[in-house]
């Protein structure tokens, strides 16, 4: 409080302030009221245009940025959920494969089977095997269904003269789903 009085006394001792006080005393009471009202209006306008309006504008812009960031976050979360759903629906080995014919070749190589012919047939692939062990063919079919998510629609197997050996005349394989 003492500092405020000290500061006020120093301010009043300034020649500019003393001249302003003398000038103020020269105005009549009506002019003093008008000038006081004008000063109040100017102070309010100054507060509005220098403080209130810029802060409101910054707040609006911040809200817009927040909404944009929230929309982007929602999009990322939705995309992540779709990605995880797709990833979980595919087996790791099936996702490493590629096209239908590439995955058929991979499965055949894993069972040591030589594919005689691969022919596209509608949405699937028609496979022929000249000679393979019966157990190898069964393991090959099981691998296609379980590991590579393929379905067998047609199967035509013929027995060969050698024991345990078969010929696959037609094996129609289509993607599941």
Give the 3-state secondary structure of residue 46. Answer: helix
Q: pLDDT for 49-100, tens place per residue?
A: 999 999 999 999 999 999 999 999 998 898 888 777 766 655 444 444 578 8
Of 156, 149, 107, 153, nearest to 128 (Cα)?
156
46-to-37, 42, 49, 52, 173 alpha-carbon distances in Å: 14, 6, 5, 9, 79
Q: pLDDT for 139-175, tens place per residue?
A: 899 898 888 888 999 999 999 998 989 999 999 999 8
Q: Does residue 7 surpass a pLDDT of 90? A: no
Contact by Cβ (8 Å): 127, 114? no
Whole-model pTM: value is 0.46
Which residue, chain included where needed, has tokens 């209130």? 52
Contact by Cβ (8 Å): 97, 106? yes
Contacts with 137 (C-beta within 8 Å, 6 or more apart), sequence order: 111, 113, 129, 157, 166, 168
The pLDDT of 113-130, averaged and rounded, is 91
Of 147, 126, 145, 139, nearest to 166 (Cα)?
139
DSSP state of 49: I
pLDDT confidence bin for 12, thresholds 50/70/90: confident
pLDDT of residue 177: 66
Q: Does residue 27 surpass a pLDDT of 60? A: yes
pLDDT of residue 34: 94
State in Å, rounded, how far the first CA of the chain is from the last one.
83
The pLDDT of 20-41, averaged and rounded, is 92
């Amino acid at each position: 409080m003492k500092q405020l009085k000290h500061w006020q006394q120093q301010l009043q001792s300034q020649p500019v302030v003393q001249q302003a006080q003398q000038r103020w005393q020269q105005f009549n009471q009506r002019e003093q009221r008008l000038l006081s009202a004008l000063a109040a209006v100017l102070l309010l306008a100054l507060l509005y245009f220098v403080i209130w309006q810029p802060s409101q504008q910054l707040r609006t812009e911040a809200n817009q940025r927040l909404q944009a960031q929230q929309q982007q976050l929602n999009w990322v979360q939705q995309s992540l959920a779709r990605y995880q759903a797709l990833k979980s629906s595919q087996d790791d080995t099936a996702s490493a494969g590629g096209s239908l014919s590439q995955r058929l070749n991979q499965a055949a190589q894993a069972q040591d089977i030589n594919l005689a012919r691969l022919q596209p047939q509608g949405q699937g692939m028609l496979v022929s095997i000249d000679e393979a062990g019966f157990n190898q063919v069964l393991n090959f079919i099981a691998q296609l269904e379980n590991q590579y998510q393929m379905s067998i629609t047609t199967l035509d197997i013929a027995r060969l003269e050698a024991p345990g050996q078969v010929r696959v005349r037609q094996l129609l394989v289509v993607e599941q789903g």
